[in-house]
Amino acid sequence: MTPFGARLVAVVRAHGPLCAGIDPHPALLAAWGLTDDTDGLDRFALTCVEAFAGQVAVVKPQSAFFERHGSAGIAVLERVLAALGESSTLTILDVKRGDIGSTMDGYADAYLRVGAPLGADAVTLSPYLGPGSLAAAIRTAEDAGRGVFVLARTSNPEGAQVQLAALAGRTVAQVVVDDAAARNAGADPLGGTGVVVGATRDHGLDLSALHGPVLAPGLGAQGATPGELAGLFAGLDGVVLPAASRSVLAAGPSVARLRAAALALNEEIAAAAE
């Protein structure tokens, strides 16, 4: 299978960089006039699929809002991933998994191996048992042509206490970035080990050697604007995927309005980058 980095570069070239979130939390279900159960979840999620598939580069379902409905919610998530997999749009499943040994192998089997039941094009991972603890999962992803996005400098204020802690002259966040850069070295056109760096503040990271993708949450409802992206990620060797959820999903439940909101934001991002 074509490596994730190459597939990502191609789809961003075709559709622009926006990563549209699918976050069916209770308030949004209510705003759409839907019930907070698996029927409402299914209608919400598949409406998003209809609006975004083949229209934006990347879609990011938030696993927690499917998991809260139990096994039936996970079944909806499987349908969402399968439906998006039939389009040109790539998927990043936001699960933030991170563990060691056989437990991490289990997560890799669930999300990353060939034929994984919840297989997405990429997943988010937490490195706070040590970046090396993710090695087996990253190898599994590479073998399947999938990617990972490792939490580095997240958009929540509480993250600073851990992520900005000093470690041998580097912040913990920079250690995560440097580990990803080492894994991506030599990949053509980009490696498949990305990092998560929030777009809501100056992150203070050196991304010049990353040679991979950055998932940048915080666009829209969290306060980040398209005009700020170029300055925040100047010098990056890679591609930025600005992620927006609530600011786009507020346009629902109309498929046409959802799609229009995503495309308008995508155009605004492109215009700001010129």
**Active site residue ranges:** 96
Please report, to the nearest 10 degrees, the dihedral formed by the alpha carbons of residues 208, 210, 211, 213 taken in order. Answer: -110
Percentages (nearest 5) of helix, strand, coil residues in the chain: 45, 20, 35
Those residues whose C-beta lies under 8 Å from the C-beta of residue 82, and which sit 6 or more positions away, are none
- Say if residues 242 and 19 touch (Cβ distance below 8 Å): yes
Give the CA distances from residue 62 to residues 68, 120, 156, 243, 272, in Å, rounded to whole numbers and listed in that order: 11, 12, 16, 12, 27
Instruction: Quote the radius of gyration of the chain (alpha carbons, Å).
Output: 17
Cα–Cα distance, 88 to 211 (Å, whole number):
23
| Other beta carbons less than 10 A from residue 124's beta carbon | 25
Of 191, 160, 164, the closest CA to residue 175 belongs to 164
Q: Give the CB-side neighbour count of residue 23, counting CA atoms within 13 A.
A: 16
Determine the angle formed by the axes of helices 135-143 and 101-111, rounding to 10 degrees. Answer: 30
